[in-house]
């Protein structure tokens, strides 16, 4: 193997077998490999002949676990392990960013059996050459509870799919186009805004991207080099997410007063670059995709006033999330990587990327009513901890409040914990099987919801932060208001599931297939001309509240109590929204925030439509009208509420009594 790739190994390291294929130095270029190896010894070395079992938490760094802590108990051949072809150490080296090459995971059932590949003779970098490609041993596995993990390292020239031509933006290459859209002087300021407003709750890029010196000189070589180190798609996405906060920068506020921010062009560029790299993804591709998912879909568009152009109204969003999950799976982000033979910075980034994707996928799965892409039995990444973040002494949620304890990445970690509960709410209350089982079973619905309520209460209690509108608190909370709204949204979903079985569904209407011949009738036949297509002639579908009250007195009492409790909670959410100010709405840049407000609109409508008694109906109507007024006033300043208002106005447009089949006591209060 060329000396340029492998420095002299320590004396105790077994050499690679003479017949092992050499790694062409022109094919693989490991940036900074010498520095990484020299600084990492002995921590940079990973034992490949005996494997350590990592704890479930990340309180202990992988490099500090003794190699002999827990040897694999699988029977082995002593003669095989005595072979000179097996090295005793593996050097910790990055798998991402290998010049001109891409990696792809070999899963447990892939055609290249990982349990066969574990017997390969890998070199000190965990590589094995196999004719124009390489197998890369992740390192540190298998152990008693971890499977063997390998990747294929392929030359990009073999991955240029004919259906995905190389991207050629108008006006030159992508980097040139980005610099034309955003001058470097402005770009540095946007990175500063990104670090302050976005990064603490979405830390999906390396912290080194944040360390760009501020300067007014566009030709500063230090600044140019710092910006050039960021992949084009990621940098453009960082610009795009930071631009809505431009008013908080003196220079950018003046510039935007005279020039329209190029948001649409930036996000078009980001999407194009992602599509080019989707067949050979890297960590930067996943980073750009995650940032793209949080873009403001209503900014500077023709239909800005309606809310109808929201990304949630299009099938594109869920399809794009699926592509992002697919890229993450191909890169092996679903595996715990603490024991891998990769640098600690890569481990931290991989874990943060996985949890950011997990948060996004679980929320969108629930909010959009889609089956999840990520299955609980297909990932094992441990809970986030302090070691997963490159926290500097001056790092905090707000830069100017660096001394305040806790203003770091706690909101992101807590959102990850909440996403686990979101996944369980979707599976236990809203999956297809759960809806079929619980749709008309009130008792089972209550027993299923109770532990979820308990877990949500525990999560809320674990956050040592006051409510956002607590008058007794002087200092600003390090937690964005979106955290509290996320909690209220998921509680709303549990209540919504409890309200489902309180009213039995009416029998579905008879289906008439207009493309089939009608059945012959005894009295001279049956013709479509005799059918009346006046839908007002259809029988009215009424809710079966009265039958339930007379037949199940005890159950109806439970229904009343449930409805009253849900109504009280609905009032809490409505009050929360009415008290939001411009300072709070600045924090609602999460992609799913606007959908959450639309969920509240539907929930308050359900409380009215399914009001169990004449006493509940007026209160439910008043709450819905108050919510509508709140949306009407707040949406003038905060476009994020326009989708919720559009959904509610759609019900009011034709009249509630005409839109819904209402019980008599509800019909009386809405007419």
Q: How high is the pLDDT of residue 131?
A: 82
State residue 391's pLDDT score: 61
> Which helix (H) or strand (E) segment is 129 a member of?
strand 127-129
Contact 181, 262 (CB under 8 A): yes
CB atoms within 10 A of CB 226: 20
pLDDT tens digits, residue range 217-268? 455 666 777 888 899 999 999 999 999 999 999 999 999 889 899 999 999 9
Q: How far apart are CA 87 and CA 108, in angstroms?
A: 24
The pLDDT mean for the chain works out to: 78
Instruction: Give CA–CA dist 486/328, Å, rounded.
Output: 25
Domain ranges in the chain are 33-158, 160-295, 391-501, 542-671
DSSP letter assigned to residue 428: I
Instruction: Judge whether residue 62 has pLDDT over 50.
Output: no
Mean pLDDT of 519-537: 43
Task: Give me 416's structure tokens.
Answer: 């990850």
Q: Closest by alpha carbon to 563, among 551, 555, 574? A: 555
What lies within 8 Å, CB to CB, of 27 at 6+ separation is: 100, 101, 155
Per-residue model confidence (pLDDT) at position 157? 80
Q: What is the pLDDT of residue 99?
A: 81
294/397 Cα distance (integer angstroms): 19
Indicate whether 396 pLDDT > 70: no
Share of the chain above pLDDT 90, in %: 45
Tally the C-alpha atoms within 13 A of residue 394's C-alpha that lie toward its C-beta.
Answer: 7
The per-residue pLDDT for 26 is: 36
> What are the structure tokens assigned to 531, written together?
């059918």
Residue 10 scores a pLDDT above 90: no
C-alpha span between 289 and 311 (Å, rounded): 14
The Cα–Cα gap between 535 and 512 comes to: 14
| Average pLDDT score over residue span 446-474 | 82
Report the interhelical angle of 642-653 vs 593-609 (nearest 10°).
Answer: 30
Query: Which of the residue ranges 154-163, 286-295, 322-331 would you say has the lowest mean pLDDT?
Result: 154-163
Q: What three-state secondary structure class fits 663?
A: coil
Cα 400 from Cα 176, distance rounded (Å)? 34
Checking if the pLDDT of 214 tops 80, the result is: no
Q: Please, which residues bridge with residue 153 across strands? A: 103, 134
In the predicted model, is pLDDT for residue 301 greater than 60?
no
Overall average pLDDT of the 366-377 stretch: 96
Say if residue 53's pLDDT is above 70: no
The token duo for 411 is 């909101």
Whether pLDDT at 603 is above 80: yes
Q: What separation, in Å, do the N-terminal and C-terminal C-alpha atoms of the chain show?
A: 84
Q: Write down the H helix ranges in 463-552.
A: 481-499, 545-551
Asked if residue 165 has pLDDT above 90, the reply is no
What is the per-residue pLDDT for 330?
96
Check residues 585 and 64 and name the one with the higher pLDDT: 585
Distances (CA, A) of 79 to 83, 84, 116, 241: 7, 10, 17, 58
Q: Return the percentage of the chain with pLDDT > 70, whole number.
A: 71
Confidence of residue 132 (pLDDT cuts 50, 70, 90): confident
pLDDT band at 527 (very low <50, low <70, confident <90, very high): very low
Sign of CA dihedral 481, 484, 485, 486: positive
One-character DSSP codes across 302-314: TTTTTSTT-GGGS
The CA-based diameter of the chain, rounded to the nearest angstrom, is 101
What confidence tier does 503 reach under pLDDT thresholds 50, 70, 90? confident
The verdict on whether omega for the bond into residue 42 sits within 30 degrees of 0, i.e. cis, is: yes
Phi, psi of 305 (to 5 degrees): -85, -15
Cβ pair 389, 201 in contact under 8 A: no
* pLDDT greater than 70 at residue 557: yes
């Amino acid at each position: 193997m060329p000396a340029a790739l492998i420095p002299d190994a320590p004396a105790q390291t077994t050499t690679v077998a003479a017949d092992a294929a050499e790694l062409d130095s022109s094919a693989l270029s490991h940036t900074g490999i010498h520095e990484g190896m020299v600084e990492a010894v002995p921590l940079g070395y990973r034992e490949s002949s005996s494997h350590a079992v990592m704890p479930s938490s990340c309180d202990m760094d992988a490099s500090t676990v003794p190699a002999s802590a827990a040897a694999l108990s699988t029977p082995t051949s002593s003669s095989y392990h005595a072979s000179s072809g097996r090295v005793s150490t593996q050097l910790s080296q990055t798998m991402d960013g290998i010049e001109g090459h891409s990696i792809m995971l070999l899963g447990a059932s892939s055609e290249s059996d990982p349990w066969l590949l574990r017997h390969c003779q890998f070199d000190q970098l965990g590589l094995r050459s196999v004719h124009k490609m390489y197998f890369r041993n992740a390192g540190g596995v298998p152990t008693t509870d971890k499977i063997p993990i390998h990747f294929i390292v392929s030359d990009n020239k073999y991955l240029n799919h004919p259906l995905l031509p190389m991207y050629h933006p108008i006006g030159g290459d992508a980097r040139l186009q980005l610099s034309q859209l955003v001058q470097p002087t402005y770009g540095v300021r946007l990175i500063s805004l990104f670090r302050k407003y976005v990064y603490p709750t979405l830390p999906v890029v390396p912290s080194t991207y944040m360390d760009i010196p501020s300067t007014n000189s566009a030709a500063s070589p230090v600044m140019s080099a710092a910006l050039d180190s960021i992949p084009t798609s990621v940098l453009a996405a960082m610009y795009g997410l930071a631009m809505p906060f431009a008013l908080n920068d003196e220079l950018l506020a003046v510039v935007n007063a005279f020039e329209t921010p190029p948001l649409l062009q930036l996000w078009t560029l980001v999407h194009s670059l992602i599509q080019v790299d989707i067949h050979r993804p890297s960590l930067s591709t996943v980073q750009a995709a995650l940032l793209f998912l949080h873009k403001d879909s209503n900014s500077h568009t023709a239909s800005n006033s309606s809310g109808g152009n929201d990304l949630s109204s299009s099938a594109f969003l869920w399809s794009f999330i699926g592509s992002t999950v697919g890229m993450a799976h191909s890169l092996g982000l679903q595996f715990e990587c603490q024991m891998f033979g990769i640098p600690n910075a890569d481990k931290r980034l991989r874990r943060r990327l996985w949890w950011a994707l997990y948060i996004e996928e679980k929320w969108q799965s629930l909010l959009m009513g889609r089956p999840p892409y990520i299955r609980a039995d297909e990932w094992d990444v441990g809970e986030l901890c302090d070691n997963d973040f490159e926290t500097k002494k001056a790092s905090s949620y707000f830069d100017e409040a660096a001394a305040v304890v806790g203003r770091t990445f706690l909101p992101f970690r807590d959102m990850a914990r909440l996403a686990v509960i979101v996944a369980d709410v979707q599976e236990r209350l809203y999956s297809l099987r759960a809806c079929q089982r619980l749709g008309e079973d009130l008792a089972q619905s209550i027993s299923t919801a109770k532990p979820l309520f308990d877990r949500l209460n525990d999560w809320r209690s674990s956050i040592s932060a006051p409510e956002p509108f607590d008058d007794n608190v002087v200092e600003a909370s390090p937690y964005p208001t979106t955290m509290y709204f996320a909690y209220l949204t998921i509680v709303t979903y549990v209540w919504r599931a409890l309200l489902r079985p309180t009213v039995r569904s009416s029998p579905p209407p008879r289906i008439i297939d207009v493309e089939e011949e009608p059945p012959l009738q005894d009295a001279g036949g049956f013709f479509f001309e005799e059918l009346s297509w006046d839908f007002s002639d259809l029988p009215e579908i009424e809710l079966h509240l009265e039958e339930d009250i007379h037949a199940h007195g005890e159950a109806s009492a439970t229904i009343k109590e449930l409805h009253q409790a849900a109504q009280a909670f609905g009032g809490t959410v409505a009050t929360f929204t009415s008290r939001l100010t411009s300072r709070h709405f600045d924090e609602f840049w999460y992609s799913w925030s606007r959908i959450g407000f639309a969920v509240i609109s539907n929930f308050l409508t359900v409380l009215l439509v399914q009001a169990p008694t004449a006493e509940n109906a007026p209160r439910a109507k008043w709450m819905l009208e108050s919510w509508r007024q709140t949306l009407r006033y707040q949406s003038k300043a905060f476009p994020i509420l326009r989708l919720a208002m559009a959904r509610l106005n759609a019900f009011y447009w034709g009249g509630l009594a005409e839109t819904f089949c209402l019980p008599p006591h509800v019909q009386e209060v809405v007419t």
